[in-house]
Structure 1
Amino acid sequence: NVPEFLRSGSFYESLDTSEQHAQIQVPGSCYAECDEVNCFADFEKLINVVAFWILHSIPLTMIVFCSETEPSIWRDVLAENEALDFAKALLSIFESTTRLEKAIELGHTEVVKYLAQNTIGDVTSCVKAAELGRVDYLCILNQYSHPWNEKVCEKAAANGHLHCIKYLHENGCPWNKSLHIVGKPNCVQYVYEQGLEWDENILELVAASGHADTLKYFVDHGNTIDETILTSAAQYGNVACLKYLLEINCPVSESTCYAAAEFGHLECIQLLHQHFGTTMWTARISCLAACGGLECLQYLHENGCPWDYLTYERAAIGGYLDCIQYAHKNGLKWDSESARVAAMYDQLPCLNYMLENGCPLNVGITYEAANHGYSECLEYALQMGYPIYPSACLHAVRGGHLKCLMLLHQYNAVWDEEVTAEAAGSGHVDCLQYLHENGCPWDERTTTCAAGRGRLECLRYAFENGGLYYEDIIARPIGGIDSSSTPNMLQCLQYLHEEQNIPFTDDGAEIMVITMFCSI
């Protein structure tokens, strides 16, 4: 008498059961009267039993044991038997942080049922079932009140699982207009027939998503096409959509070519070229292609597209050295702004190539590098002997770029009292200290700017190091008090009066401010 639970397996089904009293020999380690698991020894033996009888499903008792005990208890024995599909599945599922989703993914219905009934899930379980087209799992999850939302319908539609969409809709799962964008044509048709309207710009959205079949469905149902649809397909490199739109003579504009070039979609550029020739090609397309990749720029140039100095600038912004090198080697003239742009965006390799290959000098190189704190570009320009922007030090301290300030001083850049005042007013005490220790002059403006902008640390440093000040300096913080800067201004006010013994003015405005904001 073979126990009932062993009869649902390939081994039992292969036996000749026509003889009523036929006998079979089974190793003792591979036989059990029932599938109870009360301890690890029961679990370990049941692994052998399931493997020998090739059961079609994992016994519930094994699932419960894995769920309710620490993984350290059963991990090793399952790993030792990982060649067995069911053991590998149990190990993968119950070591996962998303057990239910993993069970759905692996397709073990008995585990899905148990976990759906005994765990509190989130919407990701239904999303996974919808993605895989497992309407049976959606039924199970719905039975045990697992949540679902619009994302579940989106995932089903995106994968063309119409049977899932129908079940979800019939059982109250919400959906929205995004289904028209992500869905396969069969699902889009169904949701439209069920009353889900589409947006006015649906064609543009679908062209961007790349679903050519869905795009065709919408066009066939009366939606108007224009150049924005074609441009959307070109921008996202959706060749299938672009081909279809060109075949039905969708209107085109220069912006379509711009989009294909800027985002580096060579195949789209080639398609547009085949259909329209060079009639819409301008230097701007080459400029945009310089940040889309060398292949696009090369194709355009070899097929007669014009270019100008902006090609260099656009390439420099993104650091596309290969495009700069290609343009230079193929005769595109330099422009003095190109090197400045490279410095502005901290593209040292581009700057290096430009300046070493005859790009005209531009005093703005040191300005941009100092202003943005790009010390490597600044150091390179200084080493090469390029002119220093007159107010480079001022712009360096304004942003607190101490390393740039040090480099500029090393190369004898001009600085004066205005630079020191700017460092104090901007609150960069490290720059202020460096300036003072290295001989940059200061005057009353240093303390005035620090006090007037609430820079207590700079104010303190200036006073402790002999900084000059105007007689009315204590009035400076009052003018800058507002809702955001009040605490800093008050600190400066108190510092000047309490630590530097600077008297209040005759009108007593400072006392009024302190009383108002500090209650003293």
Structure 2
Amino acid sequence: MPLIESKFQETLNDINFFHHNNYNLHHPLYKYTMELIYDNRNIPDKYIIVKNRILHQFPKIYKIVAKTGNLPLIKKMLCLNRNSGPNNYEYVFMGAAKIGNIKILKWMSKNNYPGHEFAIGYAAKNNQLETVKWLLDNDFNGRDTAIDYAAGKGHIDVVNFLLDKRCKISVRYAAKKGQFEMIKYLHSIDPTIIFDIYECNNLDILKFIYEYGATTFYSNCEHPHILSWLIGNNFVNKSVIISETVAQAGNLKCLQLLYFNDLLILSESVFDCAVKSKNVEMIKWLRDIECPFNSSATDSAVHIFSNSDSLVILKLLIGWKCPLGEELGTIAAFNGNLEMLKYLHKIGYILNDIMEYAAACGHLHIIIWMREQGYRWNESVCFFTVERNHLNVLRWLRGFDRNMYGLSSNETEICPWNERVCYAAIEHDQPDILKFALENECKLDDNYLIHLTQGHENIEILDCVNEHLKRTCSNVKMREDFASIVCARKNNIQL
């Protein structure tokens, strides 16, 4: 893969575009689509197909497209509707509200798409006063967060309008963003709002909060000068929770402030939080002062989504004879961390029965590498591709498209499957996978197939089964009865 493509994929993973999962754009269709989206270019109709899972499995794409105001493209994309994670519709509302595109919001609302609870907040956050007015006039949900988002960005006109509409006052986001004047203004209207704040990186705001009695509040502990003030005024207790919070915030100076003021508790959980922070110097320092650790530290190291940080920390822990967790291979396979798996394999860590977790997240490169190392596969590997609609991986496992993804492989065997693939496709509304399975002799008794699907809500599932029965079922009455069910469902006829 060219360096520029590799860097682009790293960027997508770093910004968590793919929802807590390192993802590799091996499929050319996925790669070209992402490049078009980030270059703000139109997506050709030939790309807007169910096979292009980038357009329906990763909702942030809908937010990006909505921000361009391209309603015709949004309409086409929403027809794909194979999302198995956060709702695509929500992200259309977010993107449209962010740029104040009332036309898209009207169309989404008129067509009864769910997920509009975030629209008012996004409009308020981005100073879209006219959009906020329209959303409130049309009874959109989300009033309770609107003032908070507007205040966090200092949009006083939006805040005052929402106050006139008697929306709930909150300043959590304003405190997080350091909007001191806005907090003082809203506090003058409702003095109780400061007791709802849980994060603050501004010392002036923090002093103001404490001046008015919010004595149970603590900063998120990323800044030494704030923690010093809290300690100096006896607002910090010696507790495991405080020690964990400071460790996970990742600032070594803050953790040392606790230590030198006899406020740091040394425990396995605190060490684990330091690992999660990815601060290598903090981890080394804790080990130097003999903070205990256990296998949970290695689990946390492998969970880190930055592959390089993850491996560096794990090697440190192994060098210190830290016990290894039992799920390291599973976590690495689930995250798509090939370098981690190579290292675990090298040191003799048992990696059996983890291929299915790579399949669950579409990590074909992991499956190919594991096969090259001699790891066996079974029916569960195919089964695990279904829930998140990794049809491309399932096809590869079954011997299709093996030269399509730019991944070198000498694989000649076919991964076994069984009827569980069909069960899962029906359960998780995956008609494309069900169609592929039924067309390629994934065996399932016709009577049981009808039993599972005759009351199904998804018309595409019903159509798929209907076509399958036409091809394979010798029982004429059974075929005709099911065809009648499908026809009735399409015409909203109650049988």
- Could you tell me the TM-score, scaled by structure 2's length? 0.52
Other-structure match for 1:198: 191
CA contact under 8 A between 2:383 and 2:417: conserved in structure 1?
A: yes
Deviations 1:276-318 (A, max 9, x none): 265x122122222222113332332233222222222223223
- Counterparts in 2 of 1:470 and 1:357: CA distance versus 1, 3 Å: farther
Residue 327 (structure 1) aligned with residue 314 (structure 2): no
Of 289, 296, 301 in structure 1, the residue corresponding to residue 287 of structure 2 is 301
Residue 317 (structure 1) aligned with residue 317 (structure 2): no
Question: For the residues of structure 2 that align with 1:209 and 1:463, how far apart are their CA atoms?
Answer: 62
In structure 1, stretches of 5+ residues that fail to align are 1-121, 126-148, 159-167, 477-490, 496-512
User: Secondary structure of the residue that 1:310 maps to in structure 2?
Assistant: helix
Other-structure match for 1:245: 230
Question: For the residues of structure 2 that align with 1:310 and 1:443, how far apart are their CA atoms?
Answer: 45
Question: For the residues of structure 2 that align with 1:435 and 1:470, how far apart are their CA atoms?
Answer: 23
Alignment of 1:384-403 (within 5 A): 384-388=373-377, 390-403=379-392
Question: Offset at 1:184?
Answer: 5.9
Question: For the residues of structure 1 that align with 2:149 and 2:326, how far apart are their CA atoms?
Answer: 52
Other-structure match for 2:357: 368
CA contact under 8 A between 1:313 and 1:342: conserved in structure 2?
A: no
Question: For the residues of structure 2 that align with 1:461 and 1:256, how far apart are their CA atoms?
Answer: 61
CA contact under 8 A between 2:275 and 2:300: conserved in structure 1?
A: yes
Deviations 1:50-102 (A, max 9, x none): xxxxxxxxxxxxxxxxxxxxxxxxxxxxxxxxxxxxxxxxxxxxxxxxxxxxx
Question: Offset at 1:189?
Answer: 8.5
CA contact under 8 A between 1:371 and 1:399: conserved in structure 2?
A: yes
Of 469, 472, 485 in structure 2, the residue corresponding to residue 493 of structure 1 is 485
Alignment of 1:76-475 (within 5 A): 178=171, 181=175, 182=178, 198-199=191-192, 201-202=194-195, 205=197, 208-216=199-207, 219=210, 221=211, 223=213, 225-226=215-216, 229-230=217-218, 232-234=219-221, 237-252=222-237, 253-276=239-262, 280-295=265-280, 296-319=282-305, 320-363=310-353, 365-388=354-377, 390-409=379-398, 411-423=413-425, 426=428, 428-432=430-434, 434-435=436-437, 438-444=440-446, 445-453=448-456, 454=459, 455-467=461-473
CA contact under 8 A between 1:286 and 1:297: conserved in structure 2?
A: yes
- More RCO (CA 8 Å, sep 6+): 2
CA contact under 8 A between 1:287 and 1:310: conserved in structure 2?
A: yes
CA contact under 8 A between 1:212 and 1:241: conserved in structure 2?
A: yes
Question: For the residues of structure 2 that align with 1:342 and 1:151, how far apart are their CA atoms?
Answer: 37
- Counterparts in 2 of 1:400 and 1:368: CA distance versus 1, 3 Å: same
Other-structure match for 2:88: none
In structure 2, stretches of 5+ residues that fail to align are 1-123, 128-146, 400-412
Question: For the residues of structure 1 that align with 2:297 and 2:232, how far apart are their CA atoms?
Answer: 32
Question: Offset at 1:458?
Answer: 1.7
Other-structure match for 2:492: 517
CA contact under 8 A between 2:272 and 2:293: conserved in structure 1?
A: yes
- Counterparts in 2 of 1:156 and 1:310: CA distance versus 1, 3 Å: closer
Deviations 1:314-345 (A, max 9, x none): 23223233322322233223223111122223
Question: For the residues of structure 1 that align with 2:384 and 2:153, how far apart are their CA atoms?
Answer: 52
Question: Offset at 1:431?
Answer: 3.4
- Counterparts in 2 of 1:409 and 1:312: CA distance versus 1, 3 Å: farther
Question: For the residues of structure 2 that align with 1:302 and 1:415, how far apart are their CA atoms?
Answer: 51
Question: Offset at 1:372?
Answer: 3.2
- Counterparts in 2 of 1:311 and 1:422: CA distance versus 1, 3 Å: same
Please say which structure displays the higher CA radius of gyration.
1
CA contact under 8 A between 1:448 and 1:469: conserved in structure 2?
A: no
Q: Residue type matched to 2:297 in 1?
A: T
Deviations 1:396-444 (A, max 9, x none): 2344322332344455433234434544665545434544565543431
Question: For the residues of structure 2 that align with 1:343 and 1:284, how far apart are their CA atoms?
Answer: 25
CA contact under 8 A between 1:286 and 1:300: conserved in structure 2?
A: yes
CA contact under 8 A between 2:200 and 2:206: conserved in structure 1?
A: no
Question: Offset at 1:261?
Answer: 2.2
- Counterparts in 2 of 1:329 and 1:470: CA distance versus 1, 3 Å: farther
- Counterparts in 2 of 1:396 and 1:297: CA distance versus 1, 3 Å: same
Q: Residue type matched to 2:462 in 1?
A: L
- Counterparts in 2 of 1:432 and 1:211: CA distance versus 1, 3 Å: closer
Question: For the residues of structure 2 that align with 1:406 and 1:123, how far apart are their CA atoms?
Answer: 44
Question: For the residues of structure 2 that align with 1:374 and 1:426, how far apart are their CA atoms?
Answer: 20
- Counterparts in 2 of 1:197 and 1:439: CA distance versus 1, 3 Å: closer
Quote the RMSD (CA, aligned, Å): 4.6
Question: Offset at 1:369?
Answer: 2.0
CA contact under 8 A between 1:346 and 1:374: conserved in structure 2?
A: yes
Q: Residue type matched to 1:282 in 2?
A: S
User: Secondary structure of the residue that 2:277 maps to in structure 1?
Assistant: coil
CA contact under 8 A between 1:282 and 1:307: conserved in structure 2?
A: yes
CA contact under 8 A between 1:340 and 1:362: conserved in structure 2?
A: no
CA contact under 8 A between 1:397 and 1:419: conserved in structure 2?
A: yes
- Counterparts in 2 of 1:397 and 1:216: CA distance versus 1, 3 Å: closer
User: Secondary structure of the residue that 1:306 maps to in structure 2?
Assistant: coil
CA contact under 8 A between 1:450 and 1:458: conserved in structure 2?
A: no
Question: For the residues of structure 1 that align with 2:437 and 2:286, how far apart are their CA atoms?
Answer: 52
Total equivalences in the alignment: 320
Identity of aligned residues (%): 18
CA contact under 8 A between 2:171 and 2:183: conserved in structure 1?
A: no
